[in-house]
Amino acid sequence: MTSTPKETAEETPPDELQEQRQGKLHKLFDDNFLDYTSYVIRERAIPDIDDGLKPVQRRILQTLHNMDDGRFHKVANVVGETMKLHPHGDQSIFAALVNLANKNYLIDRQGNFGNIYTGDQASAARYIECRLTPMARETLFNKDITEFIDSYDGRMQEPVTLPSKLPMLLLLGAEGIAVGMATKIMPHNFRELLQCQITYLEGDEFTLYPDFPKGGIVDVSDYDHGNGRLRCRARIEITDEKTITITELPYSLTTQSLMDSVEKAAKAGKLKISSINDYTAEKVEVEIKLPRGVYAEETIDALYAFTDCELSVSPNLVVIRENLPCIATVEEVLRHNTDKLQRDLETELNIEKGRLLDKLHARKLEQIFIEERLYKQIEEQTSYKGVTSTVREALLPFADELIRKVVKEDIERLLEIRIKRISRYDINKQAKEIRTLEKGITAIDKHLKDMVLFTKNYLQGILDTYGEAFPRRSELKSFDEVNARAAALSNIQVSYHRDSGFMGHKVKAEHPKKDIEFACSEFDRILLIFKDGLYKVINVPDKLFIGSEVVWMGVVDNSLVFNLIYRAGAVNLSYVKRFKTPKFILNREYRLFDAHKRSMIQLLRTGEKDIRARISLVPSSRARYNSLEIEMDDYLIKGVAAKGKRISSRVVRQVTDVTGKPKKTGPVAATLPGLEK
């Protein structure tokens, strides 16, 4: 007796049944997700290395070719026709068409296609028109060497890839985000690309760098063959000392986004501007007016440091090659495209040679048939079979003069010749046509023997015809990183109120002689030195308690030289030392000398020259002098950890800063014993 499905389900434990269902569900999700991933990578986001196009771009160009009659077509009509090949919405087609047209290589425009400088959108598809450019007609299409497949609904045929004769991937550039990968390919200059192809065919090395349609200045030091990093700058010109004009933009930036970044930086206090206006039309012109007390020369670095006038771009050259995604270099892509071009040109030459041979064969057959009056031999034949046999036998003696063996189609073509045409047959004209065909075949044979030379000549012809229209727009230039700290405005007032022990930009100084006050920027670091020899470096605080024992406070400056006299409490002797701004880790405490309850700083002064101090010693009846003056210049600048030079074997009672005061003579100016210069 067989069990019913209900009985089987009851026999299976619930946990096991749940696992089976989850396993089936996981398999369903895995299979569908892999299909979706593959589709997005190959059919939407990543361009093909062969023609450099994404599927939507390829379908747009093929549709324009199908519609091409030399006149402009409404973009709405082009979008509608493209939908017969493209399974997605009309908006994606329209956006791709506008983007392709604005690159100025393949599609002629008529109407408002937007503005790449300002970011303005194109007019509606029903108002604007487009058609293929002459260069696109010449270099993109050849039905004889194009592989076609059925469209998504099986009603039409679409190309797998277009037989492009230009390195379209590097010419147009591309951006796309797929599942688990993305591509970002920089556009390159038309003339440089073709010249590098010629250089490659000659067997020499070549180097390629990007060129952006909006111009700008590009540092390609880290380009790394299309997979590194670029630094792009706007071109900034000083109109006068109060006016800055931006005339070219970095890659992917519009004037609106640039102005937004400048206004944001101004609101944050990182730079000062009076106004910013956009006068862009056919060329970029963004004018920045500066307020009183601010000048153009000092503002340019701030624009590069704090606004989008300088951008970092990270290219990522991911392409579809042999139906699989891979990472390539610009040199590999150009070599691949050049090798493919050579193969395609050779295929085209062989196809053209075959056509010329067929035409020459037909002309010679016709010449022999008419000039040798072979048609006379079929006059008495009563059947079609007899006629064809007679013509075939009549042509046998002339087999050596023909290109190939005579086939049935050749005989049928001869029998279709009308008497009127035979009577008007021009022997000289026919001979001339045959000689022209033979010359064409000879020329093709010559080209086939040296395909490298033929490919070079083809590229040079394209370069001569269209090259002048595509000059380099971006300037290649190495430039240093802008020091944001140096470019920042010192617009923060930091104060130290000694009586309360607080410091920060929200603290107000009250006593000029006791309190400390100075200006800095948000990027600066503050060095604090305390009387007991402790020091540390902090960020600019709002309000911070640091106590009342601070002897020096200021912005970290690596060029500063500190002149220090301190008392070492353990031995109750004083030492002098000089050092530059020490290395530090933020907020960590360090010491200038060993800690002791009696150790303290007696004098701290910054400056590299002409720093003097008067030292008063504890009186001694046997001593020749009880005070002396020292020149800090006489001591070597050493590391911050150095102990320093002992001032005297006697206890120092007082240290006075006498920098700038007249020098005293006599015992007071005595030289320290053992002083080393």
Beta bridge pairs of residue 238 = 244
DSSP H or E stretch at residue 195: helix 190-201
Residue 481 to residue 461: CA distance in whole angstroms: 42
Burial class (CB in 10 A: 0-12, 13-18, 19+), 9: exposed
Give the orientation angle of helix 190-201 with respect to helix 330-371, to 10 degrees.
70
CB atoms within 10 A of CB 99: 18
Q: Which residues contact 532 (CB under 8 A, 6 or more apart)?
A: 549, 595, 599, 600, 601
Residue 401 has phi, psi (to 5 degrees) of: -85, -15
Q: Residue 562: count other Cβ atoms within 10 Å of its Cβ.
A: 22
State the Cα–Cα distance between residues 431 and 450, nearest whole angstrom: 29
Whole-Å CA distances, 119 to 102, 106, 114, 260, 611: 12, 21, 7, 13, 60
The active-site residue out of 39, 127, 295, 625 is 127
d(CA 589, CA 248): 48
Both tokens assigned to 367 = 């010449």
Is 230-313 a CATH 3.30.1360.40 domain?
Answer: yes
- What are the strands, taking DSSP E only, across 284-419? 286-289, 310-313, 318-321, 324-327
What region, left, alpha or beta, does residue 302 occupy, with left being phi > 0 and alpha being psi -120 to 50 degrees?
alpha
Output the pLDDT for position 592. 93
Q: What pTM was computed for the model? A: 0.76
Taking the CA atoms of 16, 22, 28 and 32 in sequence, report the sign of the dihedral they define: negative
Any bridge partners for residue 563, and if so which? 578, 605
Q: Is 229 helix (H, G, I), strand (E, B) or coil?
A: coil
Question: 670 and 628 in contact (C-beta within 8 Å)?
Answer: yes
Tens of pLDDT, residue by residue over 346-363, are: 999 999 999 999 999 888
Output the six-digit token pair for 510: 């009250």
- The DSSP call for residue 560 is -
CATH 1.10.268.10 maps onto the chain at: 346-468
Q: How many helices (H) and strands (E) does the chain have?
A: 17, 32
**Three-state SS at 590:** strand
**Ranges in the chain annotated CATH 3.30.1360.40:** 230-313
User: For residues 445 and 439, what is the distance between their CA atoms, to the nearest angstrom?
Assistant: 10
| pLDDT attached to residue 468 | 94
The closest of 566, 587, 550, 592 to 646, measured between CA atoms, is 566
Fold classification of 346-468 (topology level) = Topoisomerase; domain 3 (1.10.268)
With a cut of 70, list the residues of the chain below it in pLDDT.
1-15, 17-23, 25, 29-30, 481-487, 489, 664-677
- Which tens digit of pLDDT belongs to each residue from 173-228? 999 888 888 899 999 999 999 999 999 999 999 999 999 999 999 999 999 999 99
Q: Which fold has domain 53-163?
A: Topoisomerase II; domain 5 (3.90.199)
Please say whether the dihedral angle defined by the alpha carbons of residues 218, 221, 225 and 229, taken in this order, is positive or negative.
negative
Alpha carbon distance 111, 107 (integer Å): 13
Contact 511, 482 (CB under 8 A): no
- Cite the residue boundaries of each domain of the chain with CATH code 3.90.199.10: 53-163
127 as an active site residue: the answer is: yes
Looking at residue 666, its pLDDT comes to: 47
**Pick from 499, 495, 491: nearest CA to 543:** 495
If DSSP codes are grouped into helix, strand and coil, which group holds residue 510? Answer: coil
